[in-house]
Amino acid sequence: MDEILLKKLTEDIADKGNFQLYPHQREAIEKIDLGKNVLVSVPTASGKSLIAYYGILRALRNGGKAIYIAPLKALVKEKYSEIKVMLSGEYTVGISMGDFDSGADLINRFDVLVCTSEKADSMMHHDPDYFGKISLMVVDEVHNIGDESRGPTLEVLVSVARMINPDLQMIFLSATLKNYEEIGEWLNSEVVLSDFRPVPLKKFIISKKKIYDAEFNEQGRLRNDITDVIENTIENGGQVLIFLNTRKRAETFARDIGYQFKSRYVNNGLVMPTEESSRFGSILKDIVPYSVAFHHAGLPYSYREFIEENFKNGNIRVLTATPTLAAGINLPARTVIIRDLTRFSNGYTTYISNMEIEQMLGRAGRPRYDKYGEAYIYCPTDNSLEKVRNFFTNGSEPIESALCTEKTMGFNTLALISTGLCKNEAEIMDFYRSTLYCKQNGFENMETMAKHSLKILVENDFVNNRGELLQPTELGRLTSSLYIDPRTAIEILEMLEMEGLNESKALYHICRTPDVMALFASQQDKELLMEFFQEIDEEPESEEDLSAAKTALLLKAWIDEKPLYEIEEVFNVGSGDIESKKSTAEWIVFSAARMARHYRREYANFLDILSLRISEGIKNEIIPLISVPGVGRVRARVLYNSGFKSLGELAAANPQDIGNIRGFSYNMAERIISYAKSKVSMNGIDQAP
C-alpha cells in the first residue's frame, strides 16, 4: 500500500495525521495494489470515492491514464471538481458530458477524463482503441446496469472495454448489491463487501401518527406526522431531505412548510438568482429566506445550482425533491423522509423498487457533521406497510440486465460492425455471449434478437453482407459516428426526401425520432395539435405522432423567442425540461445536417441554421448578434429592436447609445463594440455610416 498516495488523499480530511482507513477501504486498496479488478459494494457515504481516487493516483504515478464514468451530469461535475482538487495541477483533468459526435482525442489531451457512460460510449463509436490508451477505468454507481434507460449503454461499454484491453484495471463502485457474487463474477472482479456506515443509520416507519422501528416496534406518537419530525430535526440543528413522487407535490409540500416556518424562523437573507423564467421563482423567492426549498429536473440550472450549494452549506434546512436526486449529487441530510412510495408510470400507479428506497434512505447522516442519521418511511395504508415490510425483510432487488431489446440491440450491433470490432456474425454472437444478459438469461433469446437486429440493419442499408463478411455502409458509419439510433437515421432520410422542407415540418420529423423523448399529449392539446398538422399538411397516425407534434410546437415556441415562463405555462413544463428537449433536438438536427451533406445537400445549410436557432432559442434575424460574448437571446433581441441589427452597426455605435438601453451598462457597451469592431476588421464587414 502506497502510504505517500494515501497521505495525499487524506491530508484535507485527516485529524492531525490520525486518519484511519475503514476496513473495506483498506481491503479494496490492497487488491488494487495487486492489479485486481475490484467491485466495491458498500452503503452510501462509506468512503467509496477514496478507493477510486487512490486507484487513479496509482495509475497516474505509474505513467498511465484513467477514466471516471458516472451516470448523471450532476455527478460527473461533482467528481470532476473533487479529482481536480485532488490532483492540484500535477496532472490534467478533463470533463465531457455532451458533444456526442466528438472523437476520442480527449483521452490524448488529459491524464484523467470524467464523463457520463453515454459520452464514453460515443467515443467508442469513433475510436474503440481509446480503451487501449488507458490503464484504469472507474465505473461509479455500477448498479445502474439494471436501469432500463442507461443500463444497456453501461453494460456494452464495460464488455467492449474488456474485449479491447484485457489488461485494463477496473474499479466498480456501488451501493449494496443483492447479487454481488454474480455481478462480481461477470466483471471478473474481487468483491469488497461491507455494511459499515461511518454515520450509523436509524430507520423508522411513520404510520397513523405513530413511529415504529425497523422491527415494527412502536417507538412513540406524533401530533402531525411528518411535520413533527421536520421540526424536531430543525430544532436540534439538523437538515431534512424529503422525497415526493411528483414535481408538483415537491413544490406544494415545500411551499406549505415554508409558510409555516415564516412565523417561527428568522429570514436568513438568501436571495434567489434572477432568471428569465418566473414560474418557479415566485414560490422559491418566498420560501428560501426561511431555509426551505424544492428541487427537481424542471428547475432552471441556476436555481438548482443555488439550492444545492445552499443546502450543502446549511443555509437551506428543509429540501423537498423527486427521487432522481437520490441517484445524483451528494446531498446528505441528518434526516431523510420518504413521503411517497408510489409513482405513476405507463398508466398505472406502482410501488418504487427496494433499490430506490435504499438509495433514498442512504442519504441520511452527514459525514463529519452528524453522529447518526435518521430515515423515515411514511406509510398511510396497510398496503404501503406491507411494501416496507418486504423492503426490511428482503432488501434491494438483484441487478438484472436490460440489454436485450430491439432498440438497444440494433444500436449496439451497428456499433460493433461500424467500429470493426466484429467482422462477421460469429464474432457478434461471441461478443453478446460475454454480456451480463447472457450470463443471467442464457443465449437463446439474445441470439434471436441479435440476428433480427442484423437483418434489419442489412435490409435498411446500414450494413453490407458479403458472404460471411459484414461491412458498414456509408450510412452505417455515419449513423454510428453521430451516435444516433438507426431508426432515427431512417426517419431523417425520409424527411430529407421531402420537397419543400420547412421549419415546422423539420421539427415534427425530428421529434418523431426515438432519440427525442416526446412530451405527453393530452386530450386538451388535441385542437392545437390538429391545427399544427394542417399547417404541415400531414395526418397523425398514432398517439406518438401527437406527442411528437406537441414537442415540435414547444421547440417552435422556443426558436420564436417566446418567453420561458410562457412556454412553461402553455406546455406545462419547467425550464429544465425545455433545456433537455432543446439539447436533444439540437443534436438530432445537427445529425440531420451532417446526413444532408451526403444525401440532400441543398438542405444542409437550412438544418445547420435550425440547429443553431434551437441551441440559442432565436429567430433568424438575430443570429449575427448572438455571437457577441455576454449577449444571449434576450439581449440580442433588445439590441435588434433598438436598431442595432448587425455587427457592423454595433461596431459603429457609441458606448452611450448602447449603455443607455435598459439591461446594458456603459462597460458592457464598450465590450460589445470592441468585439464587433474586431470581427468587422477580421471579416472585412462594412461598418454602418
Of 507, 486, 518, the closest CA to residue 586 belongs to 507
**Residue 589: Cβ within 10 Å count:** 25
Please spell the DSSP secondary structure of 4-55, one letter per residue.
HHHHHHHTTT-STT-----HHHHHHHHHHHTT--EEEE--TTSSHHHHHHHH
Tell me whether the CATH fold assigned to 406-481 matches the one assigned to 486-617: no
Radius of gyration of the chain (CA): 27
Q: How is the beta sheet containing 201-207 ordered, strand by strand?
A: 218-221, 210-213, 201-207, 373-378, 335-338, 240-243, 318-321, 292-295
**308 touches 595 (CB < 8 A):** no
CA–CA distance, 42 with 312 (Å, rounded to integer): 23
Write down the CATH number for the domain with range 201-394. Answer: 3.40.50.300
pLDDT at 684: 57
Do strands 318-321 and 335-338 pair parallel, antiparallel, or not at all (unpaired)? unpaired
Alpha carbon distance 357, 678 (integer Å): 57
488/494 Cα distance (integer angstroms)? 10
Residue type at 18?
A: N
The fold of 622-683 is DNA polymerase; domain 1 (1.10.150)
Decide if 126 contacts 103 (C-beta within 8 A): yes
Q: Is the dihedral of CA 456, 460, 464, 466 positive or negative?
A: positive
Q: Nearest to residue 565, comparing CAs of 634, 619, 635, 626?
A: 634
Neighbouring CB atoms inside 10 A of 40's CB total 27
**Dist. CA 59–CA 64, nearest whole Å:** 5
How far is residue 479's CA from residue 287's CA, in Å, rounded to a whole number? 48
CATH annotation of 486-617: 1.10.3380.20
Helix (H, G, I), strand (E, B) or coil at 97: coil
Nearest to 110 by CA among 35, 173, 60: 60
Contact status, residue 79 vs residue 70, Cβ threshold 8 Å: yes
Q: Is 403 helix (H, G, I), strand (E, B) or coil?
A: coil
**CATH class of the domain whose range is 406-481:** mainly alpha
Distance separating alpha carbons of residues 338 and 446, to the nearest angstrom:
38
pLDDT at 278: 62
Cα(516)–Cα(529) distance, rounded to whole angstroms? Answer: 18
* CB contact at 8 A, 333 and 319: yes
Place of cell 493516483: 57
Domain ranges of the chain: 3-193, 201-394, 406-481, 486-617, 622-683
Nearest-angstrom CA–CA distance, 256 and 242: 13
- At 470, list the grid cell: 459484414
CA-based nearest residue to 303, from 277, 323, 330:
277
Rounded Cα distance, 372 and 238, in Å: 11
Q: How far is CA 503 from CA 432, 552, 557, 673, in A?
A: 41, 10, 12, 33
Contact 329, 308 (CB under 8 A): yes
**How confident is the model at residue 687, as a pLDDT?**
46
Nearest to 649 by CA among 676, 600, 688: 688
Give the whole-angstrom CA distance, residue 290 versus residue 293: 9
Q: Which residues pair with 470 in a beta bridge?
A: 465
pLDDT at residue 346, rounded to an integer = 66
264/269 Cα distance (integer angstroms): 15
Q: Packing angle between helix 73-87 and helix 48-61, nearest 10 degrees?
A: 50
**CA dihedral sign of residues 419, 420, 425, 429:** negative
Residues of the chain short of pLDDT 70, as ranges, are: 1-2, 4, 7-8, 10-19, 98-105, 107, 275-278, 326-328, 346-347, 683-689
Round to whole Å and give the CA distance between 540 and 529.
9
Pick the CATH number of 3-193 from 3.40.50.720, 3.40.50.300, 3.90.1560.10, 3.30.70.60: 3.40.50.300
DSSP for residue 399: P
Q: Look at residues 570, 577, 560, 567 and name the one whose alpha carbon lies nearest to residue 528.
A: 570
Give the C-alpha separation, 507 to 525, whole Å: 18
Q: How distant, in Å, are the alpha carbons of 20, 121, 383, 456 from that of 461?
A: 60, 23, 52, 9
